[in-house]
Chains A and B, each alone.
Chain A
Amino acid sequence: MPVNIIIFGRLADIAESSLALENVADTNTLVKELHILYPALADAKYVIAVNKKVVNENTSLTENSIVALLPPFSGG
């Protein structure tokens, strides 16, 4: 069951802007996987949203969950 991931802002310089991962049951597992795939992501600041809701705690993922990674923007 793939989980779809969308990457925003300059995080897309580190990881593919859109990708899918298999076998990730929750957001903690997903983050761990992503940090292995893209080590530079571990040093970046971002927030996670699951199905368009920002989540702060480990959240379980189901088939076709859409996870977004958003960095803070400062420009004006």
Chain B
Amino acid sequence: MDKKELYERYQRQIILPEFGEEGQQKLLRAKVLVIGAGGLSCPVLQYLTAAGTGTIGIVDDDVVALNNLHRQVLYSVGDIGSSKAERARHILHQLNPEIKILPYNERLTVQNALILFDEFDIIIDGTDNFSTRYMINDACVLMNKPLVYGAISQFEGQVSVFNFRQTENDEAVNYRDIFPDPPKEGEVLNCAEAGVLGALPGIIGTMMANETIKLITGIGEPLANQLLTYNALNNEVYQLTLSARKETRSLIPENEAAFLQMDYVWLCSSQITHPIAIGSEIDADTFNGLIANGNVDVIDVREPDEMPVANEFSNIKIPLAQLSKNTPLIKSDTIVAFCQSGNRSLQAVKILSGIFGEGKKVYSLRGGILEWKKQKQTV
């Protein structure tokens, strides 16, 4: 882009003395990775694209659904059923063709996280579940990348900047300094049923975009070592000071090999944040009945090397991350997904229901293969 065009597009931010042409050049050189392309990430992506952030990666394996549109304001009716990452790339390119947008239509896993993060300067967490949030936090600590964090629950939102030192003497705080371990079953109330007003992720996501721009350009005071909470009902803002804990480092994998061994879904056992249709979970007895009747495709959505092996019944092995690409392998009108503990298989139900709609009945084996094997032993 020549200088004249640069000034014209970004003129209103360049004329800010604190920002200036230098701020614009910093933005144009920056590489940020946005994880999730949902309610929080839509405004993040829009404002970072508009501001001229040079390279933006988008990780999301989900497709646009009608009930996303009240808050995921990038997308339109015509996008329903299409990959969020791909649609976001197309829409953002129209907004600003001068920047590079890299869509990754895949789920973030321990296998791809470190490779992806390596390509970017700042990571932005706009995801919707604890397991991915802990994975992102740990990967950022491991790779020493600043993390812009935002999360919502009903009418409230939280924003912070983790793993960032404002000055050399500061300690870098991360999410595990606040909440060392992921919540277990029942420790967070009713996530699956939690609703949200569309404007709230808009507000929190816009704050995340603002924090990112501050980090890149070095202006203002980013929310490092601070957790800001916002209440949409009464407009109260409550800002807390955070400090690092000695014990935190021992909770985070110390190297790449240890990170690859982590099972974040297992860590966040039973913490389901996706709305799942009632009755989509079945117990071992119902599962055995379905197998006996035949005409059911059973899918193992675990990674290939996970133990125990399930050889008591025939099943198709498709790891969760590859599920949406391998649906032609599924022939029956009844599908049961299973994994280790029944968590990923619920995500599989969501993915498969999104693809097949009413056409197929999709179930998840409650408690996973571990629970099924236990039941079998007690019979």
Q: Which residues of A contact B (CB under 8 A)?
A: 6, 8-11, 13-14, 43-45, 47, 49, 52-54, 56, 68, 70-76
How far, in angstroms, from A53 to B177 measured CA to CA in the complex? 13
Give the distance to chain A from B225, nearest Cβ to Cβ, in Å. Answer: 10
- Known contacts being A54-B227, A76-B151, A76-B152, is A10 close to B128, with CB within 8 Å? no
List B171-189 residues whose CB lies under 8 Å from chain A: 178-179, 183-184, 186-189
A-B residue pairs in contact (CB < 8 Å), sample of 17: A8-B229, A10-B188, A10-B194, A45-B184, A45-B188, A52-B238, A53-B243, A56-B245, A70-B158, A72-B183, A72-B188, A74-B128, A74-B191, A75-B39, A75-B151, A75-B194, A76-B152
B residues less than 8 Å from A74 (CB atoms): 128-130, 133, 151, 153, 188, 191, 271, 273
A71: contacting residue among B153, B239, B273, CB under 8 A? B153
Q: Say whether A76 contacts B40, CB under 8 Å.
A: yes
Q: Say whether B273 contacts A75, CB under 8 Å.
A: yes
B241: contacting residue among A14, A53, A56, A72, CB under 8 A? A53
Give the distance to chain A from B266, nearest Cβ to Cβ, in Å. Answer: 16
List B102-128 residues whose CB lies under 8 Å from chain A: 126-128
B residues less than 8 Å from A9 (CB atoms): 153-154, 156
A residues less than 8 Å from B187 (CB atoms): 43-45
A-B contact count (CB 8 A): 97
Closest chain A residue, CB of each to CB of B151? A73
A76: contacting residue among B38, B154, B184, B189, CB under 8 A? B38
Q: Say whether B201 contacts A10, CB under 8 Å.
A: no
Q: Say whether B130 contacts A72, CB under 8 Å.
A: yes
B residues less than 8 Å from A76 (CB atoms): 36, 38-41, 126-128, 150-152, 201
Interface size class of B (residues with CB under 8 A): 35 or more
Give the distance to chain B from A53, nearest Cβ to Cβ, in Å. Answer: 5
B157: contacting residue among A6, A10, A73, CB under 8 A? A73
* A-B pairs, 10 with minimum CB distance: A76-B128, A73-B151, A45-B187, A73-B153, A10-B189, A75-B152, A76-B40, A45-B183, A53-B241, A72-B179
How far, in angstroms, from A4 to B196 measured CA to CA in the complex? 28
Q: Say whether B151 contacts A52, CB under 8 Å.
A: no
B residues less than 8 Å from A6 (CB atoms): 238
How far, in angstroms, from A14 to B187 measured CA to CA in the complex? 12
13 new A-B contacts, CB < 8 A, other than A8-B156, A74-B188, A75-B39, are A6-B238, A10-B154, A43-B187, A45-B187, A52-B238, A52-B240, A68-B238, A68-B240, A70-B227, A71-B189, A73-B152, A75-B152, A75-B196
